[in-house]
Each structure stands twice: as structure tokens, then as C-alpha cells.
Amino acid sequence: MTKSFSDLTESAKVLVLRLQRGQTTLTDQHRRWFVDDPKAAKDAVFSDALGRWDALEQVFRCAQPSGCIWGPGKSCPEDAPVICHACLRQS
């Protein structure tokens, strides 16, 4: 059963907000990289950020084993360079 996000503990809420914000930033950086924007993050910085996002998502899964980070019934954006475990399982 998927818990509603309002049932999450405060620390899990902080985690999910960081994941949502992180995914948005990574998606933006990925888009910049794709068009050779000089403001795009360097490859090493970007892959490091991807790794940290992934580690954070694993911690979040201890509190919320199912459902997308964007909430029940939602899914990660298709152009995101990283997607959550729940969306990964569906793709």
C-alpha cells in the first residue's frame, strides 16, 4: 500500500523535497549539456551529483518503499537524467 506523502515523517519529507529539487536541477543541467551551454556543469560534477541523488533516493526508499518521489499516481519527467526507483520499475 502506498502511503500518502502527508503520512511521511518530517525527515522523509525533507528527503523527498531534496530529491524533487535535485531532479529538477539535474534535468536542467542535462538540457544545458545537450546544447553545449557553457554554463552546463562539468562531466565530473554532473556524474558526482547523479551519484549523490541516487544515494539519497536509496535512503528515501527506507521510509517510502513505493510510489514516485512526486507523489502517489505521479511519475518522474521523461527527460530527467535520473528517475526514481518506482518509475524505474514501471519502465
Part of the chain binding Zn ion (CB under 5 A), chosen from 4-12, 20-28, 58-66, 76-84: 76-84
- How many residues in the shown chain lie near Zn ion by CB under 5 A? 4
Minimal distance, residue 9 CB to Zn ion, in Å: 20
Part of the chain binding Zn ion (CB under 5 A), chosen from 9-17, 38-46, 48-56, 72-80: 72-80
Part of the chain binding Zn ion (CB under 5 A), chosen from 3-11, 14-22, 56-64, 82-90: 82-90
Q: What are phi and psi of 75, to 5 degrees?
A: -145, 160
* Residue 68 within binding range of Zn ion, rule CB under 5 A: yes
**Closest by CA position to 31, among listed 79, 84, 75, 88:** 79
Cβ atoms of 20 and 70 closer than 8 Å: yes
**Closest by CA position to 23, among listed 62, 59, 61, 50:** 50
* Residue 19 within binding range of Zn ion, rule CB under 5 A: no
Cβ atoms of 57 and 85 closer than 8 Å: yes
Kindly list the residues in this chain that would bind Zn ion in the complex (CB under 5 A).
68, 76, 84, 87
